[in-house]
Amino acid sequence: MWEGVALAAIAALAWWWHDSMRARERALAVAGAACRRDRLQLLDETVECVKIWPARGEGGHMALRRTYRFEFSDTGDNRRAGSVVILGTTVESLYLEPFLVQ
């Protein structure tokens, strides 16, 4: 009995880790593409997951909505904030703090 519960818990943790890494990679790709498009510098080449909560997608299915934060620079000597919200594997929104247009 306990072996089955332990195996299910390990499987759930493995799924959670894999799903989280896939969402993080998607958020990093979206942030990087937005920075390249606007000729900005993505600082630290990373995103940070700051919020996770369950939500319903367009089809009514349950998925995890994750908010990732990142920093970018428009002049090379400052830091500005940005965020990416992902529901499941779908990008819901991208926000970039106002910056100087180059």
Which residues lie across from 51 on neighbouring strands? 67
DSSP state of 84: E
Q: What is the pLDDT of residue 100?
A: 78
96 dihedral zone (left: phi>0; alpha: psi -120 to 50; beta): beta
Give CA–CA dist 71/98, Å, rounded: 12
Q: What is the pLDDT of residues 40-83, one digit of tens each?
A: 999 999 999 999 999 998 888 999 999 999 999 999 899 999 99
Ordered by start, the domain boundaries in the chain are 2-96
Residue 11 pLDDT > 80: yes
Structure tokens at 31: 């942030």
- The mean pLDDT of 25-53, rounded to a whole number, is 96
- Whether the CB-CB separation of 68 and 51 falls below 8 Å is answered with no
Mean pLDDT of the chain: 93
- Whether the CB-CB separation of 65 and 87 falls below 8 Å is answered with yes
